């Protein structure tokens, strides 16, 4: 439980003066943990009891207890937050911002995922006769990557990033087939149709998408990957990375389910690549 997030979340439950306190804290939490209640009150231009009430409202026992929570939140590394790239950022600045935003998104995505749904997905994937991954645009590369991974498991797997091929494949699907449809927005018409077609043909449809979208409604299992996509630069960024991490999770679940003997098989696949590489000297 990160108290900084909590402050952000409850910002509009707070009174005007309490909000002033919140703002001062959010602006420089690292200063606050070394300030007395009097110093903080002065900084925020409000009285000491207000600070105290603010702390209580956040379910802490008082100001010292609040500082403890704050210190702990800060200790957990820099809390990754979605920081927006600015026109005048140096290379170093925008690099840091993008990496941090990406990490923040992964954290968010992880929270939106439900272990039960993952379990069910792994279930149906391990029992599938055939697995298809569909995506368009940025999600196409996620489908591509999924094929790459599941291919190693020696199961029939295909991926399509072409609307027509997806449609045809969906129409030809049958019971026992698993169709994984990937879309961040969950609103791409043709993909929603493909999901619906596959379902009509009795395939199990797993959706990797945002909660409560038209696509989600068509799926047998929804793996919710909720990230706040930074659309400042009009390019999908964090969404596809969170989706890829989820593919890793599914692939891992798959191998764990199949047992250790199966993992020896994976090693063989990997070893077969060795001759195409330059040897390591160390």
**Which residues make up the interface to DNA (CB under 7 A)?**
15-18, 36-38, 45-50, 52-53, 55, 61-65, 67
Residue 141 binds what, of a copy of itself, DNA, none (CB under 5 to 8 Å, by partner type)?
a copy of itself
* Contact status, residue 91 vs residue 99, Cβ threshold 8 Å: no
What residues contact 134, with CB distance under 8 A and at least 6 apart?
143, 159, 160, 161, 166, 169, 170, 179, 180, 181, 182, 191, 194
Site stretch for a copy of itself (CB under 8 A), options 22-30, 42-50, 118-126, 167-175: 118-126
DSSP designation for 34: T
The 3-state DSSP class for residue 69 equals helix
Closer CB to DNA, 20 or 240, in the complex: 20
Interaction of residue 184 with a copy of itself, rule CB under 8 A: no
Minimum CB–partner distance for residue 231 and DNA (Å) = 33
Q: Which of 42, 47, 80, 165 binds a copy of itself (CB under 8 A)?
A: 80
Q: Give the nearest distance from C-beta 133 to a copy of itself in angstroms.
A: 12
Torsion sign over Cα 146, 112, 70, 86 = positive
Structure-block tokens of residue 48: 């000491």
Under 8 Å between Cβ of 228 and 111: no
Binding partner of residue 152 among DNA, a copy of itself, none, CB under 5 to 8 Å per kind? a copy of itself
Binding to a copy of itself, residues 198-217 (CB under 8 A): 214
Binding-residue pattern over the window 19 to 58 for a copy of itself, x denoting contact by CB under 8 A: --------------xx------------------------
Contact of residue 115 among a copy of itself, DNA, none (CB under 5-8 Å per partner type): a copy of itself
237 binds a copy of itself (CB under 8 A): yes
Element housing 157 (H / E): strand 157-160
Which of residues 10, 47, 89, 258 is near a copy of itself by CB under 8 A?
A: 89
Q: Which residue number, 61 or 84, has a Cβ lying nearer to DNA?
A: 61
Residue 190 binds a copy of itself, judged by CB under 8 A: yes
Are 119 and 140 contacting, i.e. CB atoms less than 8 angstroms apart? no
Q: Among candidates 269, 169, 183, which has minimal Cα distance to 219?
A: 183
Using CB under 8 A as the binding rule, whether residue 106 contacts a copy of itself is answered as yes
- Packed helices 37-44 and 48-57: angle between N→C axes, nearest 10 degrees: 100
Selection from 193, 181, 93 nearest residue 143 by Cα: 181
152 binds a copy of itself (CB under 8 A): yes
> Minimum Å distance from CB 89 to a copy of itself?
7
Is 82 a residue that touches a copy of itself (CB under 8 A)? no
- Cβ atoms of residues 154 and 137 within 8 Å: no
The DSSP output letter for 181 is: E
Residue 272 sits in the site that holds a copy of itself (CB under 8 A): no
255 binds a copy of itself (CB under 8 A): yes
């Amino acid at each position: 439980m990160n108290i900084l997030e909590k402050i952000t979340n409850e910002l509009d439950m707070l009174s005007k003066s309490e909000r002033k306190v919140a703002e001062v804290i959010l602006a420089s939490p690292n200063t606050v943990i070394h300030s007395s209640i009097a110093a903080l009150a002065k900084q925020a231009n409000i009285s000491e009891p207000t600070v105290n009430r603010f702390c209580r409202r956040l379910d802490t026992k008082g100001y010292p207890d609040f500082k403890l929570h704050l210190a702990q939140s800060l200790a957990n590394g820099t809390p990754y937050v979605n920081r927006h790239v600015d026109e005048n950022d140096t290379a170093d600045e925008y690099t840091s911002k993008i990496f941090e935003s990406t990490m923040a998104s992964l954290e968010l995505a992880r929270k939106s995922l439900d272990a039960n749904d993952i379990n069910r997905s792994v279930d149906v994937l391990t029992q599938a006769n055939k697995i298809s991954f569909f995506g368009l645009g940025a999600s196409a590369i996620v489908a591509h990557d999924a094929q790459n991974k599941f291919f190693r498991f020696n199961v029939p797997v295909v991926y399509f990033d072409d609307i027509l091929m997806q449609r045809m494949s969906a129409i030809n699907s049958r019971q026992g087939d698993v169709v994984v449809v990937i879309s961040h927005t969950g609103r791409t018409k043709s993909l929603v149709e493909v999901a619906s077609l596959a379902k009509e043909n009795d395939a199990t449809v797993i959706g990797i998408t945002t909660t409560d979208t038209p696509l989600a409604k068509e799926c047998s299992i929804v793996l919710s990957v909720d990230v706040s996509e930074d659309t400042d630069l009009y390019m999908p960024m964090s969404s596809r990375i969170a989706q890829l991490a989820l593919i890793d999770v599914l692939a891992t679940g798959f191998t764990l389910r199949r047992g250790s003997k199966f993992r020896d098989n994976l090693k063989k696949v990997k070893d077969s690549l060795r001759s195409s590489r330059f040897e390591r000297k160390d």
